[in-house]
A and B are shown apart, each in its own frame.
Chain A
Amino acid sequence: VRFGHDDSAAAAESAADPFSAPNFLRNLLMQESRDDDVSKRHHKLAVIATHAVMLECGFVPFDKESNAVVSGFRSPLVWPTRRLFYTLPEKNTAHGKSIQNAVLEFRISGEYSVTVNGRLDMETEKVGNHSVQFKEDQLATFMNNVLVTDSNNTNGEEVNGGAVYRFWKRVKDNLVLPLLTELRQVSCYCQKLPVDLKVEILKWLSAVDLAKATCFCYELSSIASRDDYLWKIKFVQEFGDVDKDTSTEIDCRV
């Protein structure tokens, strides 16, 4: 893992790439953990990135003590607190009712691994517990992906944000969507489908229509441009099953 990355160079790069979640994460991480060691950076990355997926899917941060929505962006890293509360804007305005929350708990499960547990913050009803574990190697690849995006990085095959995409997909399908569904806040039937099932649908599209799906919205753009599995299928359909060694070297994504 390379750390001595220059911040201003990073800012310049991020301006060049409009779809760069890695660059955003990198800048945030640099601000947050200038002096931390590697394991702490791994933990913080898991927290910040999970937080970002929650916000992307419509959750807002919630302050349990003041019982109010936290307005504006605030970094979720008030260590050593590792519990984060969220609510949905609609739930917050329901007068007379207690505000429904989702709570995420981050547990460090080994020097470099993190487990995230998510559930609704309710005592009475039966609530599901959803959990995602990020192992050391996954977080390390993710970290690499975030910190090093320059194309002359020859040792990593992941210069295109593949690890970020996989992280996003896991958090969204296993944590965020189940929580949203339990809060019964999934109004749009398109949102109901987990990323995995969207991939199952998109794989039936022709390569041209799959590339066009990039234009629909951010989410489909990420899936259509980042999912290796999808593009491997399309590659094989167009060009036949070429030698494995060759196919791994060709970036067949659009």
Chain B
Amino acid sequence: MAAETGTPTTLTLKSNDDELFSVAESAAILSVTIRNMVEDGCAGGVIPLDNVDGKTLASVITYMNGISAIPADEEKKKSYRDKFLSDKDFETLADMVLAANYLNMSCLMDAVSAKIAQVMEKKSVGWVRRKFGIENDYTPEEEAAVKEEHKWTFEGVETDDDN
């Protein structure tokens, strides 16, 4: 649906805190949610994205632009994703999972959730709780029991690097 002049079509996306973003249609349709809107002809004006805030949407658009600029080369795309996610904290990653799910972007969804899982690998229970803000709701007795039962999973766990 490129305009007749040959300039690429741009879409305007609106975050739930009313920030507006311009993005090339070719990049935006990485989101199946947006692609469906475009195909149904309801992307003429501003596209409201009620479940994504401005900070997260800015990040997602950076990703859309970055990944769509790379030609069909899976290796290069992968290294772009790794680099893109390398400096994100868990809060940002959690927001991006929600956004990727809402926007139906499976490549981003997979990359972000794999990244979160990768951070958890081989870490101690305490480290993961602190890092991810998981509240320990076990009683001391329950915790001792569940840890005893899963003692075998603590083999090879790295030493905590945060204390």
Chain A interfacial positions (CB closer than 8 Å to B): 18, 188-190, 192-193, 197, 200-206, 208-209, 211-218, 220-221, 254
- CB <8 Å contact, B154 and A189: no
- CB <8 Å contact, B121 and A211: no
- CB <8 Å contact, B125 and A215: yes
Chain B interfacial positions (CB closer than 8 Å to A): 90-91, 94-95, 97-98, 101, 109, 113-114, 116-118, 120-122, 125, 128-129, 132-138, 142-143, 145-147, 149-150, 152-155
Given A209-B121, A217-B129, 4 more A-B residue pairs with CB atoms under 8 Å apart are A204-B116, A208-B152, A209-B117, A215-B143
What residues of B have a CB within 8 angstroms of the CB of A200 in the complex? 97, 101, 109, 113
**In whole angstroms, how far apart are the Cα atoms of A36 and B69 in the complex?**
65
Contact of A209 among B122, B133, B138, B149 (CB under 8 A): B122
Query: Do A216 and B121 form a contact, CB below 8 Å, given A192-B94, A200-B113?
Result: no
- CB <8 Å contact, B154 and A212: yes
Closest 5 CB pairs of A and B: A204-B117, A212-B153, A201-B113, A204-B114, A215-B125
- CB <8 Å contact, B135 and A188: yes
**In whole angstroms, how far apart are the Cα atoms of A214 and B94 in the complex?**
20
- CB <8 Å contact, B116 and A201: yes
- CB <8 Å contact, B97 and A209: no
What residues of A have a CB within 8 angstroms of the CB of B117 in the complex? 201-205, 209
**In whole angstroms, how far apart are the Cα atoms of A209 and B124 in the complex?**
10
> For residue A204, which residue of chain B has the nearest CB?
B117
What residues of B have a CB within 8 angstroms of the CB of A188 in the complex? 133, 135
- CB <8 Å contact, B132 and A214: no
- CB <8 Å contact, A215 and B113: no
Query: Do A214 and B118 form a contact, CB below 8 Å, given A189-B94, A189-B133?
Result: no
- CB <8 Å contact, B153 and A211: yes
